[in-house]
């Protein structure tokens, strides 16, 4: 089967997108009989010179007015493979159509008229390509015939445009000088451009390496629907990345439930291999038939997507009305649909010159902005830089898809958090060094080891032994003793239920800061209330929170504590590791070793 690559032609109006495409179709013998004659006839009828664009601009309005309104797809082939080329309009007012066309492309021609030079849409389209994640870009410097095939003009444009594009992290594969209308440097190198050493258009196309489906990335399988047409209960969806096979242990986000893949389903017969992979639309059945629904994301247990209600994004706005604060929109990300609002507008960028605008109150049509989004319910996503499919979304205003965007980096300390900030005057800001980098440098994985238990149970003695043991093993470790914090950060708190809850929250927040800086953190906290430990787990993240209950007998407590009040410890509903202490003279080294044995492979 022949390979197929999709490429979009973008650029400023009249810089020759349609002409290049027409020429490519003509040169590759892809036009049906009579097409050129038809174009000649239309050109004559409209009193215009021969124009390849009429091959693509099918609408009467487009042909009569000589403009491309909407995007279209055409097919041609080289010896190497088949191509679908997408024509995108260059008028600013049809930017939404340009984006619709470009969003499905794997590579792009960014056209620049050699005589007119870099124009507003050349830059804006460049910016849009970078947001869409299209990295394989050829800048085509067209109409070289109008400037006598001058190397100097070509070099001037290249240097100037390169400067602009490098700010966007776009590094074009090549700047190709052509005359699309005269067919120079289209299929083979042109004598008129003897100074140019690069490839012709067709040669350059065939040089593009097609990006394989992201099979080797961690699994992301958003649930599209759940079917029960017969006795099977099939979870259907598209695998965005990774692979999946029967027997795999899977986690379902955001609920965090886990189960196992029972079967991979297909019609009319089974697949001829035992796994399914990125890009495929599949159906599976699972062992535990708990309630699943559209929008949840299936992953492997050890690598889940992020989940949060506040995150930073880049958006391009195409709506008739501007994007504003204090208005409800709908966010569609993978198969999730959730109500959202703009929490803060951090930067509005004029995409034609990258100037950062002063006006932070709204994002107008055709503008690009960095904003913080707040959703009503928890959303699962990834950063676009790591995962395409789960890192991009659209925003619906009323009935209309009005914006598109990509998820930016989240600071490690704010990841997987449900945040209810009181003010929108600040925004979540990411740093430049990630937790992963810090952990790598410290040669450890950071976890919170949370020791709870009533006063006198011995948690403190065990914790200090554990700290020393980890320290001697070369680990970077921090010990947060709840009692010590009461002297300082929590000196304002009362010793009552409310104070206890607040104290646990503060410790959890501090511990969260430490682990997200790569530091193993031991906590001792009575935390007798079940709910307060649950919220600590929520703040820290269930993957990083290791709860140990130090359970001492009443006798031990009485012997060791200073006048123990009658208090009750509420046990957790989820499984935790328990250490039982029935001897007031217990050996704390042994107990620390028990904890160490349990956690050593996790650090």
Partner 1 sequence: MDHLEIIEAKSIYILREAYKHFGKLGMLWSIGKDSTVMLWLAQKAFFGHCPFPLIHVDTSYKIPEMIEFRDNLVRGHNLNLIVHQNKQALEEGMNPEKGRLVCCEHLKTRPLQEVVKKFGFEGLILGVRRDEEGSRSKERIFSERDNESNWDYTDQPPELWDQFKTDFKKGNHIRIHPLLHWREIDIWEYIRRENIPVVDLYFSKNGKRYRSLGCYPCTFPIDSDVTTIEGIIEELENTKQTERSGRAQDQEDAYAMQKLRSKGYM
Q: Which stretch binds partner 1 (CB under 8 A): 57-65, 300-308, 555-563, 581-589?
A: 57-65
Q: b vs e for 132-167, b when ≥16 Cβ sit within 10 Å of the residue's Cβ?
A: bebbbbbbbbbbbbebebeeebbeebbeebeebbee
**Rounded to whole angstroms, how far apart are CA atoms 568 and 593?**
27
Q: Which is nearer to partner 1, 249 or 400 (CB)?
A: 400
Residue 310's H or E segment, with its range, is strand 306-317
**Enclosing H/E stretch for 509:** helix 497-515
Min dist. Cβ of residue 527 to partner 1 (A): 43
Site for partner 1, residues 110 to 149, rule: CB under 8 A: none
Among 33, 272, 472, 562, binds partner 1 (CB under 8 A): 33
- Closer to partner 1 by Cβ: residue 404 or 458: 404
Enumerate the H helices of 56-150 as residue ranges.
Answer: 60-65, 95-102, 120-132
Which of 393, 450, 479, 586 is the binder for partner 1 (CB under 8 A)? 393
Smallest distance, partner 1 to C-beta of residue 235, A: 11
Find the angle CA(262)-CA(263)-CA(268) to the nearest 5 degrees: 165
Q: Single out the residue of 247, 256, 270, 398 in contact with partner 1 (rule: CB under 8 A).
A: 398
How far is the C-alpha of 587 from the C-alpha of 565, rounded, in Å?
25
In the complex, least distance from residue 448 CB atom to partner 1, rounded to whole angstroms:
37
CB-CB contact of 511 with 448 (8 Å): yes
357 binds partner 1 per the rule CB under 8 A: no
Q: Which of 50, 171, 195, 227 binds partner 1 (CB under 8 A)?
A: 227
Query: What spatial distance separates the first Cα and last Cα of the chain, rounded to whole Å?
Result: 48
Residues 58-97 that bind partner 1 (CB under 8 A): 58-61, 69-75, 82, 84, 96-97
Helix H segments across 198-281?
201-207
Tell me: cis bond preceding 268? Omega within 30 of 0 counts. Answer: yes
Least gap, CB of 23 to partner 1 (angstroms): 18
Strand partners, 381: 306
When asked if residue 3 is in the footprint of partner 1 (CB under 8 A), the reply is: yes
Residues from 241 through 280 that contact partner 1 (CB under 8 A): 265-268, 279-280
* Binding flag, residue 318, partner 1 (CB under 8 A): yes
Q: Is 385 in the site for partner 1 (CB under 8 A)?
A: no
Pick the binder of partner 1 from 1, 47, 272, 420 (CB under 8 A): 1
Q: Give the pair of three-digit tokens for residue 278.
A: 């990125």
Contact 333, 253 (CB under 8 A): no
Q: Does position 208 bind partner 1 by CB under 8 A? A: no
Q: Binding of partner 1 at residue 509 (CB under 8 A)?
A: no
Strand partners, 316: 368, 404
Q: Residue 170 class from Cβ within 10 Å (0-12 exposed, 13-18 middle, 19+ buried)?
A: buried
Number of residues that bind partner 1 (CB under 8 A): 60
Q: Which residues bind partner 1 (CB under 8 A)?
A: 1-4, 31-33, 42, 58-61, 69-75, 82, 84, 96-97, 99-100, 103-104, 213, 224-225, 227, 229-230, 232, 234, 236, 238, 265-268, 279-281, 283, 294, 318, 330, 332, 334, 392-394, 396, 398-402, 404
């Amino acid at each position: 089967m022949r390979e197929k690559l999709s490429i979009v032609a973008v650029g400023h109006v009249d810089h020759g997108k349609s002409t290049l495409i027409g020429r490519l179709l003509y040169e590759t013998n892809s036009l049906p009989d009579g097409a050129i004659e038809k174009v000649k006839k239309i050109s004559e009828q409209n009193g215009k010179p021969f124009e390849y664009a009429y091959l693509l601009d099918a609408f009467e309005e487009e042909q009569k007015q000589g403009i491309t309104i909407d995007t279209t797809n055409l097919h041609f082939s080289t010896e190497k493979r088949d191509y679908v080329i997408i024509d995108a309009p260059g008028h600013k007012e049809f930017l939404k159509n340009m984006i619709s066309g470009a969003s499905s492309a794997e590579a792009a021609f960014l056209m620049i008229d050699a005589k007119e030079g870099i124009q507003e849409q050349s830059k804006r389209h460049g910016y849009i390509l970078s947001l869409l994640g299209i990295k394989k870009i050829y800048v085509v410097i067209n109409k070289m015939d109008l400037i006598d095939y001058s190397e100097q003009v070509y070099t001037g444009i290249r240097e100037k445009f390169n400067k602009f594009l490098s700010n966007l992290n776009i590094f074009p594969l090549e700047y190709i000088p052509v005359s699309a209308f005269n067919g120079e440097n289209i299929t083979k190198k042109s004598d008129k451009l003897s100074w140019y050493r690069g490839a012709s258009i067709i040669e350059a196309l065939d040089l593009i390496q097609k990006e394989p489906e992201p099979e080797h990335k961690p699994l992301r399988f958003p649930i599209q629907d759940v079917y029960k047409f017969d006795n099977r209960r099939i979870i259907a969806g598209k695998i965005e990345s990774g692979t999946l096979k029967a027997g795999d242990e899977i986690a379902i986000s955001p609920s965090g439930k886990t189960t196992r893949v029972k079967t991979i389903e297909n019609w009319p017969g089974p697949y001829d291999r035992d796994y399914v992979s990125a890009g495929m639309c599949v159906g599976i059945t699972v062992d535990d038939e708990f309630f699943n629904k559209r929008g949840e994301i299936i992953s492997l247990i050890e690598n889940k997507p992020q989940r949060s209600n506040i995150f930073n994004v880049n958006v391009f706005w195409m709506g008739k009305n501007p994007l504003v604060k204090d208005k409800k929109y709908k966010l569609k990300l993978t198969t999730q649909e959730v109500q959202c609002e703009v929490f803060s507008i951090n930067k509005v960028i004029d995409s034609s010159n990258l100037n950062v605008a002063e006006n932070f109150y709204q994002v107008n049509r055709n503008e690009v902005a960095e904003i913080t989004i707040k959703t009503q319910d928890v959303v699962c996503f990834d950063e676009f830089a790591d995962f395409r499919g789960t890192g991009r979304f659209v925003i619906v205003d009323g009935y209309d898809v009005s914006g598109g965007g990509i998820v930016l980096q989240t600071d490690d300390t704010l990841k997987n958090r449900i945040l209810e900030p009181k003010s929108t005057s600040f925004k979540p800001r990411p740093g430049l060094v990630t937790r992963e980098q810090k952990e790598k440098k410290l040669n450890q994985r950071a976890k919170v080891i949370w020791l709870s238990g009533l006063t006198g149970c011995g948690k403190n003695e065990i914790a200090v032994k554990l700290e020393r043991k980890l320290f001697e093993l070369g680990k970077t470790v921090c010990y947060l003793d709840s009692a010590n914090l009461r002297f300082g950060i929590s000196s304002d708190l009362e010793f009552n239920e409310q104070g206890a809850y607040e104290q646990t929250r503060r410790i959890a927040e501090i511990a969260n800061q430490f682990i997200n800086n790569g530091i193993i953190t031991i906590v001792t906290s009575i935390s007798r209330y079940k709910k307060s430990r649950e919220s600590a787990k929520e703040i820290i993240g269930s993957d990083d929170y290791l709860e140990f209950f130090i359970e001492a007998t009443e006798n031990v407590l009485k012997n060791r504590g200073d006048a123990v009040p009658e208090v009750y410890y509420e046990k957790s509903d989820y499984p935790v590791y328990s250490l039982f202490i029935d001897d007031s003279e217990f050996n704390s080294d042994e107990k620390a070793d028990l904890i160490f044995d349990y956690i050593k492979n996790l650090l």
